[in-house]
Structure formats: C-alpha cells, structure tokens
Amino acid sequence: MKHFIKILRFLPLLAFWQCTQQVSPSADVPVVSYAQEISPIISANCSISGCHDGSSDLFPLLSYDDLLQRGA
C-alpha cells in the first residue's frame, strides 16, 4: 500500500510533464485550397438549381464567404 501511495504522489507531476510537451506541426499535412478542392465539390453537389444556389429558401453556398457565414 505504501508503494501505491508513493506512485500516486508522482502522478500529478507526470501529468504536468505530459502537458508541457511541444508538438511540432507535421510536414505530411497537405495544404487545402478552397478554390481548387472545396469549391468544385460544393458546385457539383450543393450549389445546384433548387438547392444552395440562392434561388430557394436554403442558404446560398456560392462563395467562400457564404460558406464561412454558415460554418460558424
């Protein structure tokens, strides 16, 4: 039981040490372009007649700003 109590005393220090580790950004994360990758998907699937093209009661998704307004 005494050993268990000794271990419990050091757990907060271990947790603090874990929280202070710096994580460097990964070089493997690709850069995503709205104009080249996101916009074509929205245009083909969402910004069609009667959907999010601004002609219906649904919010428009015709531009990057439209997307940002609805994404919050």
Is the CB of residue 60 less than 8 Å from the CB of residue 52?
Answer: yes
pLDDT of residue 36: 93
**pLDDT tens digits, residue range 18-67?**
555 566 666 777 888 989 998 999 889 888 888 888 888 888 888 899 88
Q: Which of 27, 58, 64, 16 is nearest to 43 (CA)?
A: 64
Is this model's pTM higher than 0.75 or not? no
Confidence of residue 2 (pLDDT cuts 50, 70, 90): low
- How far is 15 from 3, CA to CA, in rounded Å? 19
